[in-house]
């Protein structure tokens, strides 16, 4: 009997420890954003890109979302580097390069025809964007987590040769339910959604 009691006690302790380790822990967590989709390099020419502007109100520069846990505590998710503008600009640069463009970082550019006329020669196109909304709201319910990702950006695309400036608003709201939520799952969710944003804003066949 003592051996059985000891076994039951140890089993109970192990289950408690496992349960604690598998519980979600509140506090800030970091995600790595990346553009991983492959494209055929069908484009040519030089493309200028300026760092996107984060126009979100009362929001940290690195904030990408939050998850409410079952005990009403909250996990906050931040992009690594704490600069969403820089991260989304980098994802866009990678997208443009994968389609075949030679991409050149460009200093701040005000998207007007007058300012476009001052862009140095050699660039065929120039791009900037405003981040209006970018947030993932997640709620843990029992064993699963429901995520809602809300993104709204305004792209400004200048065609220097044709002296044409296009304003391209793109918004996307997507939902996903995960049985096993993790930072990696959130990364995949955001990366896939932003791929869709880019392909809507500046599609290349």
Segment 100-118, tens digit of pLDDT: 999 999 888 899 999 888 8
Mean model confidence pLDDT for the chain: 88
Taking alpha carbons only, the member of 132, 120, 134, 25 closest to residue 79 is 134
pLDDT at site 33: 97
Going from N- to C-terminal start, the domains of the chain cover 26-201
According to the model, what pLDDT value does residue 204 have? 82
Please give the Cα distance from 52 to 113 (Å, whole number): 18
Say whether 22 sits in a helix, a strand or coil. Answer: helix
Give dist(CA 97, CA 99) in Å, integer.
5
CA separation for the pair 139, 186 (Å, rounded): 13
Q: What is the pLDDT of residue 118?
A: 85
Which range is most confident: 35-39, 41-45, 151-155?
151-155
The span from the CA of 54 to the CA of 62, in Å, is 10
Tokens, residue 176 = 């996903």
User: Apex CA 139: angle with CA 138 and CA 142, to 5°?
Assistant: 140
Strand, helix or coil at 89? Answer: helix
Q: Which residue has the higher pLDDT, 187 or 108?
A: 187
Per-residue confidence at 17, pLDDT binned at 50, 70, 90? very low
What is the CATH T-level fold of the domain 26-201, as seen in this structure?
Answer: Rossmann fold (3.40.50)
Label residue 172 left, alpha or beta by phi (over 0 means left) and psi (-120 to 50 means alpha).
Answer: beta
The answer on pLDDT for 20 being more than 50 is no
């Amino acid at each position: 009997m003592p051996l059985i009691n000891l076994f039951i006690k140890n089993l109970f302790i192990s289950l408690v420890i496992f349960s604690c380790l598998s519980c979600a822990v509140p506090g800030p967590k970091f995600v790595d954003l990346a553009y991983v989709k492959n494209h055929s390099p069908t484009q040519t020419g030089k493309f200028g890109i300026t760092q996107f502007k984060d126009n979100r109100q009362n929001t940290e520069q690195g904030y990408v979302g939050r998850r409410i846990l079952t005990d009403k505590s909250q996990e906050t998710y931040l992009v690594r580097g704490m600069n969403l503008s820089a991260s989304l600009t980098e994802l866009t640069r990678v997208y443009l390069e994968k389609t075949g463009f030679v991409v050149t970082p460009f200093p701040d550019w005000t998207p007007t025809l007058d300012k476009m006329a001052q862009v140095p020669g050699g660039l065929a196109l120039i791009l900037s964007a405003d981040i209006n909304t970018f947030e993932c709201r997640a709620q843990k319910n029992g064993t699963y987590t429901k995520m809602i990702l809300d993104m709204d950006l305004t792209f400004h695309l200048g065609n220097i040769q044709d002296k044409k400036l296009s304003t391209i608003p793109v918004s996307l709201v997507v939902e996903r339910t995960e049985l096993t939520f993790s930072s990696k799952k959130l990364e995949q969710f955001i990366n896939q959604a932003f791929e869709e944003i880019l392909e809507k804003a500046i599609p290349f066949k």
